[in-house]
Structure 1
Amino acid sequence: MHNSSKQSRVGIMDIGSNSIRLVIYENGSGMGFKVLKECRESARLSAIVTPEGVMPLESVSQIVPVLRQFAEVSRAYEVSEIRAVATAAIRNAVNGEQVIQYLNQETGLAIELLPGEMEGHYGFLGVVNRIDIRDGFIIDIGGGSTEITLFQERKRISSVSFPFGAVNMNVRFGGKQEGRWDEKAISGLETMVMKAANEHPWISQHPGLPMVGLGGTIRAIGKMHQRKRKYSMEQIHQYQLQAEDTDYYYQQLPSMTNEERKRIAGLSKNRTDIIVPGTIILRTLFRHMQCAHYVISGSGLRDGLYFEWERGKANAVLDDVLEYEIESVMDSEPLPRQRHLRQVADLSVQLYQALGEGLDDPWNVKLLRTAALLHQVGMKVSYHDYEEHTRYLLTTRALAGLDHRETVLVAFIAIFGSKGKIKKRRISVEYADILHPNDEERIRRLGALLQLAASMDTSETQPVERMQAVRKGRDFELTIQCRTEASMEVVEITEAVKDLEKEWDVRVRLVVRTVSRS
């Protein structure tokens, strides 16, 4: 376990079957992390394995300069540790240990040959620490392997690694007729996948669970689907697909040539050949497992390795994904602002509970509290016009613990509460493909509460000692006791009360008691 009492950096290197990646992580002085640098180079190591299962060292030598430069990047970022792992392509080669020894000798790294079950385990850590989900299957289709993991109550139950992936199955079944796949090739791959799956009965014994997908195949399908439907958010993490969405690409892609696939919006040019076997593997297993729907994860193996580095093996699974994310963002704020944001969050929730006459809706409280704690995040970009920066950051960044609808709701509650320029905009039209019919009203009502709570700490010095709020029908009695004159707050509270009356259809009787200095 790494001591995270102060900021430190680690380089996580993943030598996969299709690509080699490096991510430089920096942990916070409290909780959370940020990614400082990402590097990726295509490798397709699965494609260089001979029919006898040997990975020739002369072919492996092509990745040595990449690994050396990744190590140089890590040193430039002054990482305290580099953790490099190799997965399926090298693991499945009959001379895998020789390959690792050669690469370590040529690069000076200490590369680990990761067993298939551990690859599934780290993928599990990456998923459950970035998505608020309790039960499901995880499928990670790489270039040379496919890992399946069952988790329940946020605990990994079973994992298995199969020696087939998008690259090696393309070599075995595809590559004919300019990239077209015929029925015989499709059936051959499906039969092989089913034979492997049937050897592990637990895979089909939990119908109705979501399938959380990692890797390039499901991300590519998600991006194509988003472009096809003109999706209003630029975010793939936690994007959901239904069975028929993947079925569509399963039916359309195999008969196309590689050149034709290059013209599909959202599909990367270096994936036009391997998208077909990846899609076939994905759909075959989804149907066999009788999953409810797909959830795309933007995090996986490398994030899992980070969490183990930061928190240790015993504590690698987070108790509360969203709270960890919020604290990660808060950690980079100056202390006076942290105190301000926590005060505003507390006051917002108190107001909501008072207006609901004690009926506490946990989901609305979650949205309101999150928006309150993050409503000034745009100040990291610029103090002026920070509301629009807040909206942009919250709707384009994958916020762990929130699905896409919750992300949009939090973003607009935040900027409504910041007196942002959205009061005349129709948010429900702008995000009609994500929001529900009553969400416009939800944003405005919760935003009005946040605006009022923020007005009670305009100076960011926490002058409000006590607040008492009681609702009786349409009448809302609000008494605020301040420890100072609180002149800034008095002006802002008076203005914010008007929006509260409008959005909640209440009559506010406001009493603000301050300390006189005369």
Structure 2
Amino acid sequence: MKKEYYAIIDIGSNTMRLVIYLQEKGGRLKEVENVKAVARLRTFLDPANNLSMDGINKLVSTLSSFQDVLGVYQLKEVVCVATATIRQANNKEEIITIAEKETGLPMRILSEEEEAYYGYLAVVNSTSIEEGITVDIGGGSTEVTYFKNRELIHSHSFPFGALTLKEFFTEEIPTDEELVQLHHYLSKQFHTLPWLAGREIPLIAIGGSARNLVQIEQNLKKYSLAGLHQYKMFDKDIQMVSNYLTSLSPDKLPKVEGLSKDRADIIIPAIQVFHTLYQTVQADCFILSRKGLRDGVFYEQLSKEMGSILFPNVLEDSIQELINDFNLEPKQIMHVQYLTRKVFDYLKQNGIIHLDKNDWSLVKRASYLCHLGEYIDAESSAQHTFYLLANRTIDGLMHRERLMIALIASYKNKTVFKQFIQPYKNWFLKEERKKILHLGALLKFTYCLDATKRQVVKDIHIKKRQQKLTFSIYCDGDCTPEEYQAEKQKKHLEKLAKMDVDLHFLQANVKE
């Protein structure tokens, strides 16, 4: 299959960025190249609100440098979009004409509504959040949207961004009085939109300033999982980062771990936007979306092929990508799921261990990805499975859920489980850790019933007699390898059931 690449150039007020995507088998886009240039076009606006010739030259030279990268790929489509600074410039037509003449790249200026819309589209197509407020703070504007049941309800673009808001401060590190003034200004602005206040729903942030906020907080906490997408914070966490940054001297600020040098002078006003909006919304959490405007533009492009603007199954699509990437076998996955459901339902219905629908959801998702690490090395499959799932972004899963699935899918034995969970013990209550271990042990056992990937085990009947579980396992053909592996693993089942387990392997045409 021929690889299809798409490119987008995003001309922002602070930075310009080129991103190249590869379209996956399932239709979704995978980022393969991301080139950033700090152009600060906002600073080239003159008193008459025209972009100066120096600014236009900066724009053209940056676009020309991007063309060198574009030349490496056979591209199906290149899109070049501009936001607040070009949109607000009085000489925007001249800018477009010169840029296209010099670079051959036609530029599309996004309206305020389009900029907000693409941010919303990126969030709902890369998370499982049903209702939320999105915020995207650029250099010269800030977009907010409200969506419910994944449908856009309201959107608005404020004519201020991180570059313009830093004018509230006389120095790089603001005084307490200046922070209060900025907070009051922002609060007044946000309260002009009745649909923002008191929602008590997630606040989802997009863009470079949000990424930097999360990176700083992760470094301060010595966060042990990789990945930024769908990372969750709370009011106190945002305030803690703000307090930390404002306590530093100007020379130390650019050296903060997780903070891009080019954002050192705008990160504090940006964080004030997030914090004030969090309080206005009375948000129940702050979530970072790594997918933003650029992704939203291409989600719209893909929708023309799909016939729908929304991906109906964000998480399922993301799991399917993993199945494709690691050559997992769908036939085996579905068979093991069937066997796992039989055992799960019996244990649940007979009160042997306490299980609910959320537990099944976890073990079902983990069953798609069990033994994924064999792709790298069969001998250390559990270690690779855990590392890959714990540290790879899975759209639709928050970090805690991703970790739970990694622990279940990688289960080998209690000792290895304890090693894997040790750095994250404080993420879970004792009973939660026990439940995750039980689900992992259950999945490990049922995978043994298809050890040779032949689907030789056709059905399972379970009976409880006194303090013993008897499994009648019906096979079609020789099931010696499955029997050997299951006998090895049944001790884990016995521990979670707190009773002996007898396994009887029978031919499918033989009735007990």
> In the alignment, is the contact (CA less than 8 A) between 2:199 and 2:281 conserved in 1?
yes
Of residues 108-117 and 309-318 in structure 1, the stretch that sits farther from structure 2 once superposed is: 309-318
> In the alignment, is the contact (CA less than 8 A) between 2:174 and 2:246 conserved in 1?
yes
> In the alignment, is the contact (CA less than 8 A) between 1:31 and 1:331 conserved in 2?
no
1:390 is matched with which residue? 385
1:502 is matched with which residue? 495
**Secondary structure at 2:30 match in 1:** strand
1:269 is matched with which residue? 261
Tell me by how many angstroms 1:382 deviates: 4.0
1:193 lines up with 2:189 in the alignment = no
What one-letter code is carried by the residue in structure 2 that aligns with 1:479? S
**Secondary structure at 1:465 match in 2:** strand
Q: Which of the pair has the greater relative contact order for Cα pairs under 8 Å at 6+ separation?
A: 1
**Secondary structure at 1:431 match in 2:** helix
2:95 is matched with which residue? 99
> In the alignment, is the contact (CA less than 8 A) between 2:390 and 2:406 conserved in 1?
yes
CA RMSD of aligned residues (A): 2.6
Deviations 1:290-321 (A, max 9, x none): 22221122222122223222233851222222
Of residues 146-155 and 386-395 in structure 1, the stretch that sits farther from structure 2 once superposed is: 386-395
**Secondary structure at 1:509 match in 2:** strand
**Secondary structure at 1:202 match in 2:** coil
What one-letter code is carried by the residue in structure 2 that aligns with 1:378? G
Q: 1:282 pairs with 253, 274, 280, which one?
A: 274
CA distance in 2, matches of 1:248, 1:100: 43
What one-letter code is carried by the residue in structure 2 that aligns with 1:389? H
1:22 is matched with which residue? 18
- Structure 1 residues 145 and 381, CA gap change in structure 2 (3 angstroms): farther
1:225 lines up with 2:217 in the alignment = yes
The TM-score with structure 1 as length reference comes to 0.90
What one-letter code is carried by the residue in structure 2 that aligns with 1:163? P
**Secondary structure at 1:196 match in 2:** helix
**Secondary structure at 2:299 match in 1:** helix
1:489 is matched with which residue? 482
Q: 1:455 pairs with 448, 459, 467, which one?
A: 448
What one-letter code is carried by the residue in structure 2 that aligns with 1:370? R
What one-letter code is carried by the residue in structure 2 that aligns with 1:331? N
**Secondary structure at 1:98 match in 2:** helix
> In the alignment, is the contact (CA less than 8 A) between 2:407 and 2:417 conserved in 1?
no
Listed as ranges, the matches of 1:207-356 within 5 Å are 207-254=199-246, 256-312=248-304, 315-334=308-327, 337-356=329-348
> In the alignment, is the contact (CA less than 8 A) between 1:90 and 1:96 conserved in 2?
yes
What one-letter code is carried by the residue in structure 2 that aligns with 1:201? P
1:118 lines up with 2:114 in the alignment = yes
> In the alignment, is the contact (CA less than 8 A) between 1:428 and 1:437 conserved in 2?
no
2:395 is matched with which residue? 400
Q: 1:411 pairs with 406, 411, 414, which one?
A: 406
CA distance in 2, matches of 1:455, 1:440: 23
**Secondary structure at 1:81 match in 2:** strand
What one-letter code is carried by the residue in structure 2 that aligns with 1:151? F
Deviations 1:456-486 (A, max 9, x none): 1111222222233345674333222222213
> In the alignment, is the contact (CA less than 8 A) between 1:222 and 1:236 conserved in 2?
yes
Of residues 247-256 and 108-117 in structure 1, the stretch that sits farther from structure 2 once superposed is: 247-256
CA distance in 2, matches of 1:122, 1:358: 49
1:181 lines up with 2:177 in the alignment = no
User: Where does structure 1 lack aligned partners over 5 or more consecutive residues?
Assistant: none
Tell me by how many angstroms 1:70 deviates: 2.8
CA distance in 1, matches of 2:11, 2:342: 50
CA distance in 2, matches of 1:135, 1:210: 7
> In the alignment, is the contact (CA less than 8 A) between 1:31 and 1:327 conserved in 2?
no
**Secondary structure at 1:12 match in 2:** strand
> In the alignment, is the contact (CA less than 8 A) between 2:458 and 2:508 conserved in 1?
no
- Structure 1 residues 362 and 214, CA gap change in structure 2 (3 angstroms): same
> In the alignment, is the contact (CA less than 8 A) between 2:191 and 2:280 conserved in 1?
no
1:84 lines up with 2:80 in the alignment = yes
1:164 lines up with 2:164 in the alignment = no
Tell me by how many angstroms 1:403 deviates: 1.5
> In the alignment, is the contact (CA less than 8 A) between 2:407 and 2:421 conserved in 1?
no
Tell me by how many angstroms 1:140 deviates: 0.8
CA distance in 1, matches of 2:297, 2:463: 49
Identity of aligned residues (%): 30
Tell me by how many angstroms 1:185 deviates: 3.9
> In the alignment, is the contact (CA less than 8 A) between 2:22 and 2:31 conserved in 1?
yes
Of residues 407-416 and 243-252 in structure 1, the stretch that sits farther from structure 2 once superposed is: 243-252
Q: How many residues align?
A: 505
Tell me by how many angstroms 1:7 deviates: 5.3
CA distance in 1, matches of 2:185, 2:129: 31
1:138 lines up with 2:134 in the alignment = yes
Of residues 278-287 and 114-123 in structure 1, the stretch that sits farther from structure 2 once superposed is: 278-287
Tell me by how many angstroms 1:212 deviates: 0.9
Tell me by how many angstroms 1:380 deviates: 4.2
CA distance in 2, matches of 1:459, 1:448: 19
Tell me by how many angstroms 1:188 deviates: 4.6
Tell me by how many angstroms 1:238 deviates: 1.9
> In the alignment, is the contact (CA less than 8 A) between 1:388 and 1:420 conserved in 2?
no
CA distance in 1, matches of 2:283, 2:508: 62
CA distance in 2, matches of 1:515, 1:293: 52
> In the alignment, is the contact (CA less than 8 A) between 1:12 and 1:23 conserved in 2?
yes
